[in-house]
Structure 1
């Protein structure tokens, strides 16, 4: 199937926003600059990026004939990041980040795509509401965090549990049915391949390698007294 450039374009915007957010995070977490990333503008900028990825993943799951293979691959990459970050910081490593979430979502997508649109909408809303309730709870078990249930000692560099975010993925599936399945497009013009769409096409590769590149450039800039 021919690639839809505007999907890659929006994914390119998402990865660009994520790179900006991670730059701000790195400046605070690693270089000690007083930039607030856990609330306010930068918090919502980062969340917008993640939510765009989730909706686009829900859309793209309808174009893929090998969602199980893709899900396993993405989840395995998530576990690789878990291992790497565990070696760097055994308290604040990635336990269930966006790649873990995406992997599980793709694995569940064959089932989710069989559900009627109206029921899917209600399911998505319900999952988001349950996730909001879970966020306010504290549990004793340290193993329920993939569902959004955290104990008092839980910490993770990146955290996107199934509740509420699987609801966002489901909305992506619904969006596909309402737009792309009907041969429609979001943008009024027919996009040609461009820098952002190319970034979107290789967003997984960029995601895996952008952090060490950004960190390297920031430390180099600090060494050269550029800030």
Structure 2
């Protein structure tokens, strides 16, 4: 999800922990003197696990394998906030630790380019798969920008940075202006209407988590230092944390593919079909028609649309004028006694 350690041993400015000259120990430990801090890698690995579980739940819901209320249940909303905040906070911590001996601009820009390329790939894939809710400013986009903005804070007093973090969170959660609904400005935040996107992480309020990480790392410069990581589980988490960008880019396509295959193999009802049936039956019942008759009629309409090859276009609200006549024909057929 963030910048990653290169073969030259230099940690990235976003999620890399040590600065120049580091070498990682074989068992997850690191040598002293610009060493990696495996405890922070483990923390990032745990955040990756939580993120993967959340994404797996989203995929299961999308394909009708489960019915998690990810957008309405306060517990799911809190889980998303905590997972995202943990990644951004660790990005801020890594930025301080990676620049404590000075910033190597060339290496920083190379890693910034990797994250930007990853963000572009995520956007391209989302526009292809979900054109109605694409990812135009998600986690990677935010981290790329925050890594640049954060450089202005890595040498400032911790108290000042933490005040800026609180101000960003307060502004982003309490202020909204219609001008920021513009496609050119909504990445900043402060929108009056939340854009339809599968991953929207605007500058405000989320940069507050990055600044909080910077402030905490300044207050606690020895964070995670000297903590050994033992056992297979700890080493695995540390390994994932060291390669978090790769894990981020690969895990969701893998989970999405697994959920898609499971939906093909298992007798599940697609979410679009389920939602259509529920809305159709509710509208029908409001007209005073019996529930059984409504269910039969709505099922008939859906089957007719599928038979005519119109279902996917109907579910995506993309029927042409000619195809809408096909919808009307399907409704007429199903109304016949």
SS at structure 2 position matched to 1:127: helix
Match for residue 90 of structure 1 among 131, 143, 150: 131
Question: 1:32, CA displacement in angstroms?
Answer: 6.3
Farther-moved stretch of structure 1 (102-111 vs 152-161): 152-161
Over the residues paired in the alignment, what is the CA RMSD in angstroms?
Answer: 2.3
Matched residue, 2:75: 41
**Residue 224 (structure 2) pairs with residue 185 (structure 1):** yes
Q: Which has the larger radius of gyration?
A: 2
SS at structure 2 position matched to 1:111: coil
Contact 1:132 1:164 in 2 (8 A): yes
Matched residue, 2:289: none
More contact order relative to length (CA 8 Å, sep ≥ 6): 1
TM-score, normalised with respect to structure 2? 0.61
SS at structure 2 position matched to 1:48: helix
Alignment of 1:45-194 (within 5 A): 45-64=79-98, 65=103, 66-134=107-175, 136-139=176-179, 140-150=181-191, 152=193, 154-179=195-220, 181=221, 183-185=222-224, 190-192=228-230, 194=235
Structure 2 distance, partners of 1:154, 1:98, is 15
Distance 1:25 1:226, change over 3 A: same
Superposed CA deviations along residues 108-162 of structure 1, whole A, max 9, x for unmatched, are 222121322221121111111110123x544352321111133648211101111
Unaligned runs of 5+ in 1: none
Unaligned runs of 5+ in 2: 1-21, 23-34, 269-337
Distance 1:88 1:223, change over 3 A: closer
Structure 1 distance, partners of 2:172, 2:194, is 19
Distance 1:36 1:177, change over 3 A: same
Distance 1:120 1:152, change over 3 A: closer
TM-score, normalised with respect to structure 1? 0.88
Superposed CA deviations along residues 207-227 of structure 1, whole A, max 9, x for unmatched, are 101111112222233333397
Structure 1 distance, partners of 2:266, 2:131, is 31
Count of aligned residue pairs for this structure pair: 223
